[in-house]
C-alpha cells in the first residue's frame, strides 16, 4: 500500500501549500481521496497517471476538499477518457457538478457515476475480491465521512520447493492458496501447512478529515494499520477547534492510542502556522509512532 499526499492543508491554496487531496495505491487501485483546488497539478507533479484513477472519495463539501473536482472531471474529458469514473460523496455534489457541466454544455464523453452518501452510520460503499471501502461518519460542521480502506485476507503462499517435492499437480495450486489440503499425484493427502506459507497480513488505511474529537469512530478504525487524522490547530488554539469542529494533535493521538493503530499521520494544518514540528511533539506525548503529512510526501506500508 502506498499513500501519496498531494495536499494536507486546510482553507486556501498558497504558494507552497495545497488544500487536501491524497492518492492511495492498494491492490492495483489508485483511489483519489478528496480533491482540493490544484489537485490535478499535484497529480502531474507526482507523476500519477490520470487514467488509473477510477474512484474518487469526497469527505465533505467544504471547498478545501473538492474545489479541484470539476476541473479534474473536465480534464478527463479533454484527455478523451472513455472508462467509468465513480465518485463517492455527500448528497448534493452531483447537483453542483452537473449544474456546472450543464451551463457550459460540457458533458463528459465517459460515464460519470455518482454514489451519493447520506448514512449517519458506517456503511460499505465499495467492494471487489481484494478490497473493501467503508465510510467513517465524522463530527464536523456539515455532513462528513472519513473512509476506511481494507485489504481482504490475502491468500496463502505456495512453497514451490515443497510442492515439487510433494509431487502435487499445478491444477491444485488454487485450492492450496485457499488453505485446503490436497492429494498428490500418488493419491496421498498432503497437509496444506506442509506446502504453503502464511500470507502477508491484510493492511488497512483510515482517512479521518475533517472532524472534532469523536470517540464514536474507534470501533470502526480499531487496529487499523495507518490512521490519517486531521489536526488543524495546536493545543494553544483549542478554542478554535471547538468552534470550527476540528482536532488538536493530542486529540488525534488519543484516538490513535485508543484504536490501537500502528501508525498515525497528522495533516490538515491550519494555514496560520508556518512549521509543523510542534504538531508532532504534542501528539508524541500521547502516541509514539507519529508522522507528519507533507505535500508531495509518500508513505509505504
Residues near Zn ion (CB under 5 A): 10, 62, 64, 210
Say whether 210 is catalytic. no
C-alpha cell at 222: 480499531
Rounded CA-CA distance 71/37 in Å is 9
DSSP single-letter state for residue 120: S
Find residue 272's DSSP bridge partners: none
Cα dist. 76→10, 18, 73, 217, 228 in Å?
26, 21, 5, 34, 28
Smallest distance, Å, CB 141 to Zn ion? 7
DSSP single-letter state for residue 175: H
Whether 159 and 197 have beta carbons less than 8 Å apart is answered as yes
Smallest distance, Å, CB 124 to Zn ion? 24
Looking at beta carbons only, is 245 or 250 nearer to Zn ion? 245
Q: Which residue matches cell numbers 474529458?
A: 77
Looking at beta carbons only, is 55 or 62 nearer to Zn ion? 62
Looking at beta carbons only, is 145 or 225 nearer to Zn ion? 145
Select which of 64, 181, 186, 277 is catalytic.
Answer: 64
Smallest distance, Å, CB 11 to Zn ion? 7
Smallest distance, Å, CB 229 to Zn ion? 13
Query: N- to C-terminal Cα distance for the chain?
Result: 5
Looking at beta carbons only, is 23 or 112 nearer to Zn ion? 23
Question: Which is nearest to 251 in space by CA: 194, 212, 219?
Answer: 212
Q: Which residues are catalytic?
A: 64
Amino acid at each position: 500500500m502506498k499513500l501519496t499526499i498531494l495536499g494536507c492543508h486546510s482553507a486556501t491554496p498558497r504558494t507552497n501549500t495545497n488544500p487536501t487531496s491524497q492518492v492511495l495505491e492498494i491492490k492495483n487501485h489508485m483511489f483519489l481521496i478528496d480533491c482540493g483546488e490544484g489537485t490535478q497539478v499535484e497529480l502531474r507533479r507526482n507523476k500519477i497517471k490520470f487514467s488509473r484513477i477510477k474512484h474518487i472519495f469526497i469527505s465533505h463539501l467544504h471547498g478545501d476538499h473538492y474545489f479541484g473536482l470539476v476541473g479534474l472531471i473536465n480534464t478527463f474529458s479533454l484527455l478523451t477518457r472513455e472508462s467509468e469514473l465513480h465518485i463517492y460523496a455527500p448528497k448534493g455534489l452531483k447537483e453542483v457538478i452537473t449544474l456546472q457541466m450543464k451551463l457550459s454544455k460540457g458533458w463528459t464523453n465517459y460515464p460519470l457515476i455518482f454514489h451519493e452518501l447520506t448514512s449517519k452510520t458506517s456503511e460499505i460503499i465499495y467492494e471487489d475480491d481484494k478490497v473493501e471501502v467503508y465510510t467513517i461518519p465524522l463530527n464536523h460542521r456539515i455532513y462528513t465521512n472519513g473512509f476506511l480502506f481494507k485489504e481482504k485476507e490475502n491468500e496463502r503462499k505456495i512453497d514451490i520447493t515443497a510442492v515439487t517435492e510433494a509431487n502435487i499437480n499445478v491444477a491444485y495450486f488454487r485450492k492450496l492458496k485457499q488453505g485446503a489440503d490436497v492429494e498428490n499425484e500418488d493419491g496421498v493427502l498432503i497437509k496444506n501447512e506442509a506446502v504453503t506459507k502464511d500470507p502477508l497480513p491484510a493492511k488497512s488505511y483510515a482517512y479521518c478529515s475533517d472532524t472534532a474529537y469523536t470517540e464514536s469512530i474507534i470501533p470502526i478504525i480499531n487496529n487499523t494499520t495507518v490512521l490519517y487524522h486531521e489536526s488543524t490547530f495546536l493545543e494553544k488554539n483549542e478554542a478554535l477547534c471547538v468552534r470550527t469542529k476540528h482536532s488538536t494533535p493530542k486529540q488525534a493521538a488519543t484516538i490513535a492510542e485508543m484504536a490501537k493503530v500502528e501508525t498515525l499521520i497528522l495533516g490538515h494544518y491550519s494555514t496560520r502556522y508556518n512549521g509543523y514540528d510542534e504538531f508532532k511533539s504534542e501528539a508524541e506525548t500521547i502516541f509514539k509512532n507519529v508522522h507528519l503529512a507533507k505535500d508531495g510526501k509518500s508513505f509505504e506500508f
